[in-house]
């Protein structure tokens, strides 16, 4: 069974929310600083969302995750027989950095709202909670459950989404409201940061032949990567996500010019396409190290996932990929087309998201679909077009009504 979202239905649901309400909610949500260094970081924002749901008569709870920081969960319980859908996004932001004025006092200028977190990703959260409220206000009871999870810590180690996954109550599909300009993103690359440490022997530069220069060993490794591994990595292509990649991000070694470097550190960014495995990726780097060790007994090196990137032994920043034929994609395409008046190209999200965890570890078909342009996120001029809010709410309403009304197996 599928709900056909006609113009009449759209107009009916649009009676239950306004742009003014969306702006008011977003202004308030931005006013809660939720970045690293703030006491209990995201919990004030989560409590605001929880309070909104309670006032709407929607089942909700604050779920402690870490050090007083809480996820907020909410649910529109279905009547039974339909698919369940998760609306999710993160409540944390990056710090204000070099933003001018008060970064938590949202300001509107020429149709744009400015403030820290306004596009990454509090606008997406507001549009999702308003969609749930509109459905509830309209008296619609969907066959399947419509669930919301506002999660902590996406900008760091994804503690919130990992806690949600461990709860075991997973949906049939998920939408992550990262800013995609309401383009349907059905994939993104996996991501991990590796640190290689090369060991040498420190001696005075005047006796350099008695030492072992770790910088030279790092140079050997880089040469091998350039000659053999990187061409292979870049040849791997997914039709939606694009190609795999590797970037040298930092290299440092030694202490001063007149001392042979006893240690050199190289840090890299490795991004992979769906289908590549993390075990294989690590094995490729280890194979290069082993070859160099076999040809040079003075070559000593090891590598690890960087501490800032490491989550735990069970989770890594996996890639996301959902089939274009999956029901959540088909229904999202129809909703975007009807609301926006144009087809949405199925594409890849350029950054990593918690959707990679939900999709890979939860085996949940997941798409990235949210209002606003990613380009201003984390910047001093972070903003969103006010005109993007109402269409996003309408699209979320449409997807929820259609997806949660489909029987399992359809």
CA distance 89 to 94: 14
The domain spans of the chain are 7-188+319-403, 190-305
Per-residue DSSP letter, 49: H
Q: Which pair of structure tokens corresponds to residue 118?
A: 């306004």
Q: Calculate the alpha carbon distances from 335 to 10, 62, 392 in Å.
A: 10, 31, 10
Is the torsion defined by CA of 388, 121, 19, 97 positive or negative?
negative
Q: What is the pLDDT of residue 11?
A: 54
CA distance 67 to 163: 13
Give me the CATH topology for the region 190-305. Answer: Alpha-Beta Plaits (3.30.70)
Q: Calculate the alpha carbon distances from 362 to 164, 166, 172, 292, 321 in Å.
A: 10, 9, 10, 39, 13
Strand pairing category for 185-188 and 173-176: unpaired
Domain 7-188+319-403 identical in fold to domain 190-305: no
CA 101 to chain centre: 28
Q: Are 377 and 120 in contact (CB under 8 A)?
A: yes
Q: Which of 34, 146, 47 is nearest to 90 (CA)?
A: 34
CA distance 51 to 72: 10
Per-residue DSSP letter, 207: G
Q: Are 97 and 74 in contact (CB under 8 A)?
A: no
Q: What is the pLDDT of residue 407?
A: 66
Query: What angle do the packed helices 123-137 and 7-14 form, to 10 degrees?
Result: 100
Q: Which pair of structure tokens corresponds to residue 363?
A: 């085996």
Per-residue DSSP letter, 311: -
Q: Are 339 and 395 in contact (CB under 8 A)?
A: yes
Contacts of 231 (CB under 8 A, 6+ apart): none
Q: What is the pLDDT of residue 343?
A: 85
Give me the CATH topology for the region 7-188+319-403. Answer: Aminopeptidase (3.40.630)
Q: Give the count of beta carbons closer than 10 Å to the beta carbon of residue 397.
A: 29
Q: What is the pLDDT of residue 277?
A: 95
CA distance 247 to 272: 12
Question: In what helix (H) or strand (E) does residue 270 lie, and over which residues does it extend?
Answer: strand 263-272
Q: Which pair of structure tokens corresponds to residue 224?
A: 């091998």
Q: Are 174 and 85 in contact (CB under 8 A)?
A: yes
Is the torsion defined by CA of 265, 159, 180, 360 positive or negative?
positive
Q: Which pair of structure tokens corresponds to residue 291?
A: 């070859």
Q: Scanning the structure block, which residue is given the tokens 């069974």?
A: 1
- Mean pLDDT, consecutive 10-residue stretches, the chain (410 aa), reads 42 88 98 97 98 98 97 97 97 96 96 98 98 96 97 97 94 98 98 98 92 98 97 97 98 96 98 96 98 98 96 95 98 95 92 98 98 96 98 97 80
pTM: 0.94
Q: What is the pLDDT of residue 410?
A: 56
Q: Are 368 and 154 in contact (CB under 8 A)?
A: no
């Amino acid at each position: 069974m599928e709900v056909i979202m006609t113009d009449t239905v759209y107009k009916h649901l649009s009676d239950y929310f306004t742009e003014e309400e969306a702006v008011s909610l977003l202004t308030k949500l931005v006013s809660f600083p939720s970045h690293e260094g703030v006491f209990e970081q995201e919990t004030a924002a989560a409590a605001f969302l929880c309070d909104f749901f309670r006032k709407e008569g929607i089942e909700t709870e604050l779920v402690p995750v870490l050090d007083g920081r809480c996820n907020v969960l909410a649910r529109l319980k279905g009547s039974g027989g339909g698919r369940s859908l998760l609306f999710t996004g993160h409540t944390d932001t990056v710090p204000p950095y070099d933003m001018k004025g008060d970064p938590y006092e949202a300001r509107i200028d020429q149709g744009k709202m400015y403030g820290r977190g306004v596009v990454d990703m509090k606008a997406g959260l507001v549009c999702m909670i308003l969609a749930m409220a509109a459905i509830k206000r309209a008296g619609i009871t969907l066959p399947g459950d419509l669930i919301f999870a506002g999660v902590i810590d996406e900008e760091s180690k994804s503690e919130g989404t990992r806690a949600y996954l461990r709860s075991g109550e997973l949906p049939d599909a998920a939408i992550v409201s990262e800013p995609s300009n309401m383009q349907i993103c059905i994939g993104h690359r996996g991501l991990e940061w590796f640190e290689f440490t090369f060991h040498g022997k420190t001696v005075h530069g005047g006796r350099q032949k008695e030492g072992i220069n770790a910088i030279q060993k790092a140079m050997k490794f880089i040469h091998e990567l350039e000659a053999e591994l990187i061409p292979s990595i870049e040849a791997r292509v997914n039709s939606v996500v694009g190609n795999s990649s590797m970037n040298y991000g930092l290299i440092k070694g030694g202490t001063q010019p007149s001392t042979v470097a006893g240690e050199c550190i190289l840090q890299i960014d490795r991004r992979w396409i769906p289908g590549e495995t993390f075990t294989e990726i690590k094995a490729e780097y280890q194979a290069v190290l082993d070859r160099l060790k076999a040809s040079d007994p003075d070559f000593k090196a090891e590598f690890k996932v960087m501490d800032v990137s490491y989550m735990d032994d069970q989770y890594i920043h996996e890639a996301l990929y959902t089939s274009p034929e999956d029901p959540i994609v088909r229904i999202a395409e129809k909703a975007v087309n009807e609301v926006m008046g144009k087809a949405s190209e199925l594409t890849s999200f350029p950054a990593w998201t918690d959707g990679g965890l939900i999709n890979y570890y939860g085996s949940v078909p997941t798409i990235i679909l949210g209002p606003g342009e990613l380009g201003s996120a984390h910047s001093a001029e972070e903003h969103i077009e006010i005109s993007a809010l109402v269409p996003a709410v309408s699209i979320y309403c449409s997807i929820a009504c259609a997806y949660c009304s489909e029987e399992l197996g359809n």
